[in-house]
Structure 1
Amino acid sequence: MFAVVCCHCTDPFNFFPGTSPDIGAIKFWGAAYGALLRPCVPLFVMITGALLLPVRGEASTFYKKRIPRVLFPFLIWSVLYNLFPWITGLLGLNSQIILDFFPYAGEDVMRQSFSVALEYILMIPLNFSILAVHMWYIYLLIGLYLYLPIFSAWVEKASERAKLYFLLAWGVTLLLPYYNEYAADYLWGTCSWNSFGMLYAFAGFHGYLLLGHYLRNLEWSLTKTLAIGIPMFAIGYAVTFFGFRHMTALPECTDEMLELFFTYCSINVLMLTLPVFMIAKKINVRSETIKKALANLTVCGFGIYMVHYFFTGPSVMLVRLIQIPIPLQIPVAAVLAFTASWLLVRLIYRVGGRGAKYIAG
């Protein structure tokens, strides 16, 4: 959860508006931390697979328990994010403040118009807006929840070898972003009238679901984990960091090119993620205080994801204002945003009673 907040604190660095004498350092550290934190989303999916596969009980029971706790907070906070520019206008604030909160914001948002906000709100059933970029994951999460009981039926009956073969096929698909960018648009039967190629059913985030399930019961010694994990992580990081820096240096860099080496379903991000998951399994928390804090974070985690994007931009502004050294600005801002988000969600649970789950998940 902290890695996700920290990752979003890199946005004001990688998408720094205007000029600055420190622009080189700002861009460098944005890329350095951005590459380091790519495992954050795959880890979420892997943990979901590790904890929920195979699904127990009826699919209808699973859907009834999971979907509402995701859907209602998602709708509430999506509306609030989209209303934010209009509210700043009502308060008489300069439109520049919107960029301080949301580095991606475009010209329409800067108008601080209710009609623009309403247009974004009406689009929520179809996709996220430029003001709620992090909500892309919730569409994915709902899709994974819908798919889990179906996928679970196979996982429950499949042998370890069959699961491994699935993961190997999925691993091949992690090379597709680079094939499509550097070789050709189409592969294995895809064409202008068909987007569903030969390995389509093996591609995507459900590979991380199965990987989390598969690795949960795979035990390596600490020596083996480090011997395999450290070189794997180093190679994955080098590809991610230098690839991103190369793309952002190109004058013709498009949005798709910019995100190419940051793509979650890519081989280099897998190489970053797998060692982190395996090393995290070795951690044995003994402190009761830390256990209680982590238990509370488990309850508040989804709510933190919902609200944290309101705090990342201001936190970055604050660390710049108090002149924290640039190499430390992103983690310090992340600590501030994470703490503020956690406190807000704890307050929601404290005063919201049973209804808090519909606000904070």
Structure 2
Amino acid sequence: MAKGNFSTGMDTARVGACFMVIMLHVAAVNFNVFDDQWWAANFYDSLTRSCVPVFLMISGVLLLNKQEDLPAFFTKRFARVLPPLLFWSLFYMAWNTSQGVHYGAWSGWIKTLASGPVVFHLWYLYAILGIYLFVPFLRNIWQGSRLAEKRMFLAFWMLVSGWPIIRAVFDIDIDLLETYSLGSFVGLIGYLFLGAYVFEAYQKKMMKGQYWWTNAGLFVVFSALTMAATFAYSKHVDAPDPLFYDYLSPFVMAASVCVFNVLYGLGAKLRPYSAALNRISACTLGVYCIHIFVMDRLESMTGLLQSDGSSWWAIPVAASCVFAVSLASIMLLRRFRPFQHVT
């Protein structure tokens, strides 16, 4: 595929995944109680569970086929993640302090930063640091493997990653991961390998028009299966349970492959808007970091998600508003050069 189509496809996938993250977090507000809003929350949450996997698959496409020495890799990647992690952690800590949360002296702030995310969604920035540590080695595995070996790696990863859910659903006592020390095949890092593999497959099939529509249809199917499985298991345990929402659940894995192909393929149709997409794509990290702050402010001012209105329209409306305000805020910040390094 032409370089322009590749860039627009990656930008479209990144922007789509960013909006899905916001929709997921907005939908999650009404998930924990079985009431007349629960089905809407389950529907939108199931539809957007592929958001983080798509981000990771994009990283796999961009990183695993590259050739660069270790100092250059770590300097570039950590310089991209560490400043936003520190800035947004301090931003939320400062906000929390203004709301009455106390972290103590400066040593307390440092301990809080080192202990984990200050706000739940910043877990991704911590996780990506750990993932980047392994990328140079995963890159050698990818580049040194034949097609059959790549498929075997992915098969082991999918089976082992999905085992905890299989074990919980069928109440199996055997812990294969512990017994056979299969932990090396578990984790979100497998999505980088999956992204590179799926992208290669897409290149071979991109000339077939039905491929895009097939992926779109299958994405709907696997999202519906996630929704149905979540309802069935929640009824089984008599409480809303997000077991099948896990990023490593089989239905989410399958949906992630499909929506990645859908979003990337959509990029070819959006070539006339490539400049705008590229500009929005450059803001997605900042939008991801700030959107919880915007969402909380929107909810406190409007009460939209806690109102008596239907969540079927309230969730997409709220998500669109949060995305728009977050994007506008980040675009404004990026007009000042120092903020370009943290957004």
- Which TM-score bucket, shorter chain as reference? 0.7 to 0.9
Q: Say which of 189, 203, 206 aligns to 2:186.
A: 203
Q: Say which of 27, 30, 34 aligns to 1:10.
A: 27
Please list the CA deviations of residues 223-242 of structure 1 after superposition, one character each: whole Å capped at 9, or x if unmatched: 24534652x43442233212
Aligned in 2, Cα 1:189/1:260: closer, same or farther, shift over 3 Å? closer
Distance in 1 (alpha carbons) for counterparts of 2:160 and 2:177: 14
Q: Say which of 322, 329, 338 aligns to 1:337.
A: 322
Letter in 2 for 1:263: D
Q: Which residue of 2 aligns with 1:160?
A: 147
Q: Which residue of 2 aligns with 1:150?
A: 137
Aligned in 2, Cα 1:295/1:326: closer, same or farther, shift over 3 Å? same
1:236 partnered with 2:219: no
Pick the structure with more helix per residue.
2
Q: Secondary structure at the match of 2:71?
A: helix
Q: Secondary structure at the match of 1:281?
A: helix
- Whether the 8 Å contact between 2:103 and 2:112 is mirrored in structure 1 is no
**Runs of 5+ consecutive residues of structure 1 not aligned to the other structure:** 17-22, 90-111, 192-196
Aligned in 2, Cα 1:262/1:222: closer, same or farther, shift over 3 Å? same
- Whether the 8 Å contact between 2:89 and 2:113 is mirrored in structure 1 is yes
Q: Which residue of 1 aligns with 2:123?
A: 136
Letter in 2 for 1:55: K
The 5-angstrom pairing of residues 187-198 of structure 1 reads 187-188=175-176, 190=178, 197-198=180-181
Q: Which residue of 2 aligns with 1:301?
A: 284
Q: Which residue of 2 aligns with 1:358?
A: 341
Instruction: After TM superposition, give the deviation of residue 4 of structure 1 in Å.
Output: 0.8
Aligned in 2, Cα 1:339/1:235: closer, same or farther, shift over 3 Å? closer
Instruction: After TM superposition, give the deviation of residue 116 of structure 1 in Å.
Output: 11
Aligned residues: 318
Q: Which residue of 2 aligns with 1:176?
A: 163
- Whether the 8 Å contact between 2:305 and 2:315 is mirrored in structure 1 is no
The alignment's TM-score, normalised by the length of structure 1, stands at 0.79
Aligned in 2, Cα 1:114/1:204: closer, same or farther, shift over 3 Å? closer
Letter in 1 for 2:176: W
Q: Say which of 178, 188, 200 aligns to 1:217.
A: 200
Q: Which residue of 2 aligns with 1:26?
A: 37
Distance in 2 (alpha carbons) for counterparts of 1:88 and 1:11: 23
Distance in 1 (alpha carbons) for counterparts of 2:290 and 2:173: 37
Distance in 2 (alpha carbons) for counterparts of 1:239 and 1:325: 23
Letter in 2 for 1:187: D
Please list the CA deviations of residues 212-251 of structure 1 after superposition, one character each: whole Å capped at 9, or x if unmatched: 1011121332324534652x43442233212323444466
Q: Secondary structure at the match of 2:97?
A: helix
Instruction: After TM superposition, give the deviation of residue 295 of structure 1 in Å.
Output: 0.7
Aligned in 2, Cα 1:287/1:233: closer, same or farther, shift over 3 Å? closer
Distance in 1 (alpha carbons) for counterparts of 2:265 and 2:160: 29
Higher relative contact order (CA 8 A, sep 6+): 2
Instruction: After TM superposition, give the deviation of residue 315 of structure 1 in Å.
Output: 3.1
Please list the CA deviations of residues 16-69 of structure 1 after superposition, one character each: whole Å capped at 9, or x if unmatched: 7xxxxxx72322211110111001010011111011112321111011011122
Letter in 1 for 2:311: I
**Runs of 5+ consecutive residues of structure 2 not aligned to the other structure:** 1-17
| Identity between Structure 1 and Structure 2 (%) | 25
Please list the CA deviations of residues 127-173 of structure 1 after superposition, one character each: whole Å capped at 9, or x if unmatched: 224xx110111122111211111111121121122111111111212
Distance in 2 (alpha carbons) for counterparts of 1:306 and 1:184: 39
Letter in 1 for 2:209: L
The alignment's TM-score, normalised by the length of structure 2, stands at 0.83
**Pairwise CA RMSD:** 2.7
Q: Which residue of 2 aligns with 1:104?
A: none
Distance in 1 (alpha carbons) for counterparts of 2:270 and 2:292: 32
